[in-house]
Copies of this chain bind each other. A is one copy, B any other.
Amino acid sequence: MRDKATSFDIAHRAGVSQSTVSRALRDSPLVNKETRDKIQAIATELNYKVDKNASNLRRQHSLTLALLLFEDPTSDDSLINPFFLSMLGSITKASTKAGYDLLVSFQNLNDDWHAEYEDSNKADGLILLGYGDYTDYRDKLTKLEEQGTHFVRWGAHDIDHAGVSIGCNNMQGGFDVTQHMLNMQRRQFAFIGEAGSQAPEFKERYLGHCQALKDAGLQVNNAMQFDAISTEQSGYQGVQRLLDSGNKFDALFCASDLIALGALRCLQEKGLSIPEDVAIAGFDNIPISSFANPALTTVHQNTKLAGEILVDSLLRLISGEEVSHYLMPVDLVVRRSSGAQT
């Protein structure tokens, strides 16, 4: 069995006090270079590592960040939205780069997650990520803020919500996609995805969509909006309802790629040709989207940048700075599903 070396062991071997060891290990300029080198050499030899629990307890911080991932309660148990997985990857990397550890946890919206981490001193701050119903969410955010917890969240900026949000320009994305399909000569649009305040990001995409239609002199028909949450299955069902409605359409803007994938499958099963009969576009640019058949036109969100900004903003919040909302630019990715010649 191992027995971990402590700073006292090192002190003993080096013939100095434990305080000096502690200082030397933190590279304090107060310590004589020679003693410092000697101490560090012994530390390496003994495979000594500062005990984080002790260090954190004393310093009252943890040098770790917590990522709380919310899932749609309806979503499949094993399948996580690839977009969030990708965000998870970039956030992990960004924290590591900033010298912070990252605690990852999946939460249900109804869990008692607010407070857990920072209050127990396990993390210095929280990153909130996930789609889901925002009604209940809101209260917890407010509570989080009241407690003085440091947190940032990914999503739409909503004045009703407490805290700093980082998100992409969903409205612009919805606008760009729609304008692109208008350029492809489509005129009869449907939108698949929730568009209410429980899904603020989707709502903004819808708003951008409507704006583009208006700008083109087309009328917005709210009956052409069909609810769906961000799963393939829900997209499939949404389109079925659209089909059942009997309304004509030659273009489909789906609030996420997962929805678009479900829509695509449904339409193809009905024998429709994409994009000839119906142009389709999604949102997120998840890896799968380029492998769909036809490849999916979508809106790219720079997850790498997003992760970095999220971490950076949180760190600034922790250090007491004022941090404001941030709206990331968005890129239209044109592929075959929208009828373009690529």
Contacts and interface: CB of A to CB of B under 8 A. Distances in A.
Interface of A: 1-2, 4, 47, 49-54, 56-57, 62, 64, 77-80, 82, 85-86, 88-90, 92-93, 96, 101-106, 115-116, 119-122, 147-149, 261, 287-288, 291-293, 303-304
Given A2-B147, A78-B304, A304-B78, A120 B50 contact: yes
B62 A119 contact: no
A79 B1 contact: no
Nearest to A48: B119
Contact of A52 (B54, B106, B122, B287): B122
Of A64, A102, A120, A148, the most chain B CB neighbours within 10 A belong to: A120
A164 to B, nearest CB: 17
A13 to B, nearest CB: 18
How many identical chains are in the complex? 2
A147 B105 CA distance: 29
Residue among A64, A85, A115, A149 having the largest count of chain B Cβ atoms under 10 Å: A85
Contacts of A80: 85-86, 89
Contacts of A82: 82, 85, 287
B102 A103 contact: yes
Contact of A148 (B2, B89, B120): B2
Contacts of A116: 49
B103 A47 contact: no
Given A51-B57, A82-B82, A85-B86, 18 more contacts: A47-B147, A51-B120, A53-B54, A53-B57, A53-B121, A78-B86, A79-B287, A80-B86, A80-B89, A92-B105, A93-B106, A101-B103, A103-B104, A261-B291, A287-B288, A288-B288, A291-B291, A291-B292
Contacts of A53: 52-54, 56-57, 62, 121-122
Contact of A96 (B49, B54, B106, B287): B106
A80 B84 CA distance: 12
A1 B148 contact: yes
A122 B62 CA distance: 10
Given A115-B49, A288-B287, A122 B104 contact: no
Lowest 3 A-B CB distances belong to which pairs? A2-B148, A293-B293, A53-B57
A80 to B, nearest CB: 5
Contacts of A291: 261, 288, 291-293
A10 to B, nearest CB: 14
Contacts of A287: 79, 82, 288
A104 B119 contact: no
